[in-house]
Chains A and B, each alone.
Chain A
Amino acid sequence: QSALTQPASVSGSPGQSITISCTGTSSDVGSYNLVSWYQQHPGKAPKVMIYEVSKRPSGVSNRFSGSKSGNTASLTISGLQAEDEADYYCCSYVRGDALVFGGGTKLTVL
């Protein structure tokens, strides 16, 4: 299976909103509502921010939201804050009981 496609980098100013896309295929993103998003700060373990496309775990800010259209999932962060600067990875279930991650997107808060 091939990695999901994410932009290498995105940036935004504090208070703005940004969206990170995650493009897969009909064998993964397009066929299952099992997309999750992870935030990773340098030297730290990833932390789940969104699961099942649009659900937020307890404790995650409602500034983070997820959606999906066709083979592309998206993570939107509104009201950007300095602490949001990190790497973000999408992940999807793949037909046949497997998982695939995206290549990762580096978010810079200007």
Chain B
Amino acid sequence: QVQLQESGPGLVKPSETLSLTCAVSGYSISSDSWWGWIRQPPGKGLEWIGSIYHSGNTHYNPSLQSRVSMSTDTSKNQFSLKLSSVTAADTAVYYCARQTISAWWFDPWGQGTLVTVSS
């Protein structure tokens, strides 16, 4: 079955760039799906960050658009997130997920990875 696994540094300094990768197994990211990133600050709700198609087409949350960049690596069957100029407000559990094409819902999700922004 499809499985997703996030990886990356658990601690990032303020003003630096947060970088995460999502490795996909059991399904080719080049297949007919989008791939998304969602985050959840501790004790708070979910926030959509953005989504990417294997061709490189992207959709970003307007509130984060100026700081977000996503990419895919089809040779490694993974996709990545970069969030620049981070502050403490970017501290969250970051999830990656498969997004059903043209229906805009996510299944399955990765287990999530906590990223803390602190000096």
Contact = CB atoms under 8 A, between A and B. Distances in A.
Q: Tell whether A pairs with B.
A: yes
Contacts of B62: 1, 96, 98
A57 B46 CA distance: 21
Contact of A104 (B46, B60, B61, B111): B46
A29 interface: no
A89 B46 contact: yes
Interface string B100-112: 1001111101111
Interface string A24-61: 00000000001010100000011110011000010000
A99 interface: yes
B61 A98 contact: yes
Contacts, number: 61
Contacts of B112: 45
B95 interface: yes
A1 B61 CA distance: 9
Chain A interface mostly:
strand
A1 B110 CA distance: 25
A103 B46 CA distance: 7
Contacts of B51: 99
Contacts of B95: 45-46
B26 interface: no
A102 B47 CA distance: 9
A20 interface: no
A101 B63 CA distance: 13
Interface of B: 38, 45-48, 51, 59-63, 95, 100, 103-107, 109-112
9 contacts: A3-B45, A36-B106, A45-B112, A46-B38, A89-B46, A91-B104, A96-B62, A99-B61, A104-B45
